[in-house]
Amino acid sequence: MQTQRICLWSGPRNISTALMYAFGQRSDTEIIDEPLYAHYLHATGAMHPGREEVMASMQTEGADVIRDVILGPCEMPVLFMKQMAHHLVDIDRTFMQKTVNILLIRDPKEMLPSLTKVIGLPTLSDTGLQIQSELYTELQGMGQSPSIIDSRELLLSPKDVLSKLCVKLGLLFEESMLSWEKGGHPSDGVWAPYWYQNVHRSEGFMPYKPKQEPFPNELDGILSECMPYYEILRSDAICSNS
């Protein structure tokens, strides 16, 4: 049996964990949570919550992760891997020729205030948007047509967007993708207590609600850096019927 290997390349605070949970409900799919996270922390020295715990729980060499995990053994027809685009530090990306790749984006006006609550004032690199834009071009150069999902569209109409995504992936949509049990998933990384509080309280995709709080002035600079990349990617994203 040949496994279809799907990499979801997301930025932080983009409901990527909810999307991973959705695929985790499928009858044909195994999910893996951010296999390159420890590599990223090791390579960059980034001081994220639970840094030492994360690095102790996973392989820290990217090449080993690619060989043993991303392209490693899998007994299910589909392997869905939630990935952070900014984890691609000092990584040979040619392995992506063997994976089906999806980009998950979120409006920086909504993403940045959420990210700041976890890591402090973010940089463009922290958001992953520039890397996602580069990936989109690179993957097209490999002859791929990567799907792009905007978090807002997914929350507005989960069934519609997931159904369209499944068509693009050559998979049948399963209703089970729309709900899960509260409290997390066995595949959660050890960093879940620091990042996953909201999704652990959920039983499915939460209805989209625009942020009501004023956008913080101190984030205006990083917002202006992010928006051009977001707008380019958003123009090719799967649209809901809502």
What are the structural domains of the chain? 4-234 (3.40.50.300)
Write the CA distances from 146 to 8, 137, 138, integer angstroms: 10, 10, 10
pLDDT tens, position by position, 12-52: 888 999 999 999 999 999 999 999 999 999 999 999 889 99
pLDDT tens, position by position, 148-180: 999 999 999 999 999 999 999 999 999 999 999
Q: What stretches of the chain show up as alpha helix (H) in DSSP?
A: 16-24, 37-44, 51-57, 62-65, 108-119, 124-127, 129-141, 151-156, 158-169, 192-195, 197-200, 220-234
Asked if 61 contacts 39 with a C-beta cutoff of 8 angstroms, the reply is yes
